[in-house]
Amino acid sequence: MAAYFLEETNDYRLGIWKIEEDELQLQKLSGLAETPALANSVRRQEYLAVRALTSTMGIDPTAIAYQTSGKPYLKNSNLTISISHTKNYAAVLLSVHELAGVDVEYRSDRIRKIRHKFMHPDEESNLKHSGNPMSESVGLLLHWCAKESLYKAVPENAVEFAQELRISELSTLQLSGTFKGCFLRTNQQFQIDYLIQSDFVLTCSFSRESK
């Protein structure tokens, strides 16, 4: 199929691809001449889906390169690129802001088991008293997803999710909307846009502030 979802704002372009094709189909759609040298077939599909999506978004997929940290960047471009994938989906964010990140997560109740790794007591309290009409699992997953996208946006290493990344203004949710995030080590403030679908949640984090 073509891109599942495309959106453009003043701050970024977002693309989501639902992976329904096999490797051969994805390779043709990506325009790449060679199969990626990845042992895992799922990882190969994700890699190719990202390249097919970037091509749909007007970006040469061969321009995607990686820093030694593993963070992607675009060669010969001022745009920031961020990449994410989860079960059956791939997402690409192209932003005019230097500090920007995207994360997509498949919906599952398993997030409850690791909440202690990323939730701060203040966030737990806000989630409990927010009057949020959606399930606790969705609220937790949005916190996790937001912090993953924040982690991708900031250049610093060894970020402690529960203590250094803080989510705020996450109250009653719609299927899409905005809340806030902060990287406490540098006090960098972020806008976090979110999308909730039947089988995944997605967040885009970006900062308009200069470093």
Domain residue extents for the chain? 5-96, 103-206
Give the mean pLDDT of 173-181.
91
Tell me the average pLDDT across 90-113: 96
Q: pLDDT digit string (tens) for 26-41?
A: 999 999 888 888 889 9
User: Does domain 103-206 correspond to CATH entry 3.20.20.150?
Assistant: no
pLDDT at 113: 94
Q: Would you say the C-alpha torsion 142, 144, 149, 154 has a positive or negative sign?
A: positive
Token pair listed for 115: 């909440």
Contact 85/106 with Cβ under 8 angstroms? Answer: no
Q: Hey, do 5-96 and 103-206 end up sharing a CATH topology, with the first three levels equal?
A: yes
CA distance linking residue 143 with residue 53, whole number of Å? 26
Helix, coil or strand: residue 210:
coil
pTM, to two decimals: 0.94
Q: Which CATH architecture has domain 5-96?
A: Alpha-Beta Complex (3.90)
Residue 38 confidence (pLDDT): 87
The crossing angle, in degrees rounded to 10, of helices 136-153 and 121-128 is: 140
Alpha helices, H only, 136-179? 136-153, 161-164
